[in-house]
Amino acid sequence: MTEYGLQPSYVQLQYSTPFGTHSQTLPTVQWLPSSITGNMGSYVAWNSVPVDAEAMIDAMVAVLKAEIKADCSYDLATIFNYDSGINKFLPVAVKALAVAGTATGGSPRKACSQTINMRSLGGQPVKIVILDHPMNGGEFDKVSFLDFDAAALAIVAEYSDDANGWSARDNTRPAAAISATFDLNDALRRQYRMV
């Protein structure tokens, strides 16, 4: 494993909003080609018990969908595995998704982002970023883990569960939530021609 890289494997989740298509990259432990219940292979979870890759991804999407609105959806999950022989990542499993968001609330959301900030067991930063996140007219203040809503708590619980194979870039398990931060994403503002 390469510390602070994406090796040995990662999942890319693609999702769409009325404004654009986005992706989330979530590192994992070593992907294995043998499936348990699904068709996307498996992982040996942090608790040393095998976990089906498709089931793990479906469970993560089920909690992430609460942070995007109903006119948004998770569309595709792709697992990439590092091939040391050719020194690059290769897609090894793909699943089409059609999972609509369930978040309520409204503006602003175009080019708004939420970042859930965590620490790994190795003490390194871990982040989950959600773009075009509805702000519900709220402020852009940092929110302490102690004040997380149910949706953010569910994401943290799923991502840090030792029965899963999600990983931080330091090759340790995501462990402790710290805060959530909100922002107007400058790159998206340019992409959406808002500036």
**81-84 contact pairs (CB < 8 A, 24+):** 81/8, 81/9, 81/30, 81/31, 82/6, 82/7, 82/8, 82/9
Query: Model's pTM, two decimal places?
Result: 0.94
* b/e per residue 14-35 (b: at least 16 CB within 10 A): ebbbebeebebebbbbebbeee
Task: For tokens 């979530």, name the residue.
Answer: 26
Q: How far apart are CA 159 and CA 177, in angstroms?
A: 10
pLDDT in tens, 87-97: 999 999 999 99
Q: What residue type is assigned to position 178 of the chain?
A: I
pLDDT in tens, 109-158: 999 999 999 999 999 999 999 999 998 666 788 999 999 999 999 999 99
pLDDT in tens, 49-105: 999 999 999 999 999 999 999 999 999 999 999 999 999 999 999 999 999 999 987
